[in-house]
Each structure stands twice: as structure tokens, then as C-alpha cells.
Amino acid sequence: MKIFPSVLGALALCIPFIVPAGAHPHNHGNAPVMTAPKLIQLDAEEVMSFDNGGATYSLWNTHQRGLFGLELIEIRGESGAAVAGWWSSRGWCFTAKAYAANACWSSARMAGFAGAKLVNASYSRSPSTRAGGSATGASTDFCDHYSALEAKISEDTSGRCGY
């Protein structure tokens, strides 16, 4: 049993030497130079729409990345304004393609999940205290719950909330 940590340690020490020669900065041959992959910012996409309490809502994946790579998922009302949202580590499940293929959940289960998120929405329970607002009413404004720190960490340059 004590040999397993030793084998893992030896493997970890060998990994830097497994890199192909093409990655060396002084490579004079025709081998391709390895570069870091470039991240492409995806546009927000509507995943599905559902009815809840007599109103029609839509579930959106904003494809905005937050802390630890979490993706911002939103529920938007008929006017297009965000009424609920959360950060998900399973952002790939909240895409139109995954929804159509029932890759993570069935259509009925996804609608039930979104409905439960809408009922428990922190957007409508938290009072607005941002920028000197009063704590008398519940806020449904997305920007009241999206801090400047979250915008900076997720590299959000949309200017949507003035950050």
C-alpha cells in the first residue's frame, strides 16, 4: 500500500518531461509550437420557455463565467428582464442542445427545476440596498444582486450594470 504514493510521486515528477519538443521556445524544426487554448465568449442563449403561475418565463444561459468557472443561469420574464438567477457548475446542462437531447434532465424535470428556482428566487426576496436604495421592498432588478466584484471576476465587459 505504501508503494502507491511513491508511484504517483514519480509519475508527477516525470510529467514535465513528456511535453513534445515542439513546445520548446528555441525549436528550429518544423514542429508546431504548442500554445495555450483561447477561450471564446459565447453569446447568451435561450434554453427553454415554461409557464408558471399564469405567466410565461424563459430559461437563459448567459455564458458569463464567475468565480471557479461557474456559469450564470437566468430566468427571464415576458419583458425579457431577469427575475431569477443562480451560478451553476453544470452550465453545459443549461444549453439548448442539451435540453433538446434530454442530456441532463427530461423536459418536464427541467421545467420543474426552473419553476422551483423561480419560487425560491433570491432576486425577489432580497431588499434593494445597493446605491443607497431602501430596504422596504423586494428587488427584482438583476443589477441589485450582481456585485462589481462578480463582474470583475467574471470579466464581464458588457457594462450592463454600470461596472
Q: What is the pLDDT of residues 24-79, one digit of tens each?
A: 455 555 656 667 677 677 889 999 999 988 899 999 999 998 888 899 999 999 99
Q: What is the pTM of this model?
A: 0.54
Could you give the C-alpha distances from 68 to 60, 146, 150, 151, 157, in angstroms and in order? 20, 16, 11, 13, 18
Do residues 131 and 101 touch, judged by C-beta distance below 8 A?
no
Q: What is the pLDDT of residue 30?
A: 62
Segment 90-113 shows an average pLDDT of: 92
Q: What is the pLDDT of residue 94?
A: 93
Q: What is the mean pLDDT of the chain?
A: 75
C-alpha cell at 88: 451553476
Contacts (Cβ under 8 Å, ≥6 apart) of 64: 44, 71, 72, 154, 156
Maximum C-alpha span of the chain = 69
C-alpha–C-alpha distance, residues 137 and 150, integer Å:
24
Could you give the C-alpha distances from 70 to 13, 14, 41, 66, in angstroms and in order? 31, 32, 14, 5
